Copies of this chain bind each other. A is one copy, B any other.
């Protein structure tokens, strides 16, 4: 008995990215925004003009992380520090696990169908942009 899954399409990803860009413009923080599908693989990425080049990788990997563990990276952070139950998890997966805010799962009901990752500003700004993006699913 195979497993059926459901994933964001490129069209969905574009709508999600556009919503993130609108929020990033509103708060005046050029950002990198990435969307991954249900398999954790990249569907779309944009770097807004003026956004950090070091955040290309971070946005993509925040999205990967959120789908990889079906959690926001901000929530993961709470368990990933010294003494936390997942301390050191960021060394797993070839260094792709990001443990600071800005990655959010994309859900339809209780099913995760992908994730969005944002990097470009403070942790709080990245979280705001990612949540605005995710809301557009």
Contact = CB atoms under 8 A, between A and B. Distances in A.
Contacts of A6: 2-5
Contacts of A38: 5, 39
Contacts of A89: 58, 98, 100
A40 B42 contact: no
A124 B85 CA distance: 8
Interface residues of A, number: 68
A135 interface: no
A130 to B, nearest CB: 14
Interface of A: 1-14, 37-49, 52-58, 61, 64-65, 67-70, 77, 80-95, 97-101, 108, 113, 122-124
B10 A49 contact: yes
